[in-house]
Amino acid sequence: MSVHIEKTLVLLKPDAVQRGLIGRVIMRFEYAGLKIVGLKLVQSDEAKALEHYDEDIAKRRGEHVRRFNVDFLTSGPVVAMAIEGVNAIDNVRKMCGTTEPKSASPGTIRGDFSHVSYGHCDDAQMVVRNIIHASADKEYAKKEVDIWFKPEELIEYKTVHEIHTR
């Protein structure tokens, strides 16, 4: 396998699920040629949410932000996806847009489906509802895929593009 072929985690957060955006978001990844190798609808418990939002987020953004994220992630169902493709980590993050929805460009998932700002959420003492999570880098991608998927839940297969280009 090419060193450029990567696997990354994407979570469609409770706001995406509640708003019925699952299909529209998945479609964007498939249209871009990325391959879904793991997919499930789950209700996260607190232990898994704390493992996902580890102490690094508390160090970078504060324990209150970690708590907001954990509470939000456990507030409703989440769609967990393992996505594979050429430079998948960077490509998925570009497709998602910046973490702060108000700064996300139109055409990105956050830019098209959310709009709140950090300032608004800080004033309201609430989590930033930004539809989606995508792994930040290779280290986090490996760790997060392992948190959300058992090895036997990840499927290896060839897309029609892979079959016809080899």
User: What's 41's domain CATH number?
Assistant: 3.30.70.141
Residue 90 is assigned to a structural domain of this protein? yes
What are the CA-CA distances from residue 109 to residues 36, 40, 57, 74 (Å)? 17, 20, 22, 22
Q: What is the pLDDT at residue 152?
A: 98
166 occurs within a structural domain:
no
**Stretch among 28-37, 81-90, 125-134 having the lowest mean pLDDT:** 125-134
Q: Is residue 112 part of a domain?
A: no
120: annotated active-site residue = no
Q: 39 in a domain, yes or no?
A: yes
**Catalytic member of 115, 133, 161, 164:** 133
How far, in Å, CA of 65 to CA of 103, rounded? 19
Task: Find the domain containing 83 and state its range.
Answer: 5-96+128-157
The answer to the question of residue 49 being in a domain is yes
Residue 164 resides in a domain: no
As a whole number, the mean pLDDT across the chain is 93
Whether residue 57 is predicted with pLDDT greater than 80 in this model: the reply is: no
Our count of domains for the chain comes to 1
Rounded Cα distance between 143 and 8, Å, is: 9
Residue 118 lies in a domain: no
146 belongs to a structural domain: yes
Read off the pTM. 0.92
